[in-house]
Amino acid sequence: MHDKLVKVYRISAITLFVKNMEASCKFYSAIPGFELVCGGISDSFTTYQIEGGSKMYLNLELREEDTSNDFGRFIQENSSGTIKKALHPQKWVELGM
């Protein structure tokens, strides 16, 4: 359980680890409102800007090894600033980045 809950104002970026960048780029490029701004099918890191009121980003990071215990991270903004967290199947882990 969380010791202290904080209000999240927005999530500015989410990074998903993918095993196939080409298939992932084709999938996300087909979604209306997702604009490719960096990288692409032959790169190891790709960024999409998502249309909306504030800037939001989806990052794809190529990970060819098993990522079943670590499948991404997100950046949230709250009253104390920006916090980066890792996404794990069983828990949230705060990153000291």
What tokens were used for 5? 């809950």
What pLDDT digit, counting tens, does each position of 55-88 carry? Answer: 888 999 998 776 566 666 766 666 666 555 555 5
Give residue 16's pLDDT. Answer: 87
Q: 9 in the Ramachandran plot: left (φ > 0), alpha (ψ -120 to 50) or beta?
A: alpha
Give residue 15's pLDDT. Answer: 87
Give residue 53's pLDDT. Answer: 73
Whole-angstrom CA distances from 30 to 4, 83, 85 are 39, 30, 28
Residue 56 DSSP SS3: strand
Going by C-alpha positions, the residue among 5, 7, 3 that lies closest to residue 81 is: 7
Match 């490719």 to its residue by tokens.
Answer: 36
Find the mean pLDDT for residues 25-44.
Answer: 95
Q: What are the boundaries of each domain within the chain?
A: 12-95
Question: For residues 37 and 74, which has the higher predicted lDDT (pLDDT)?
Answer: 37
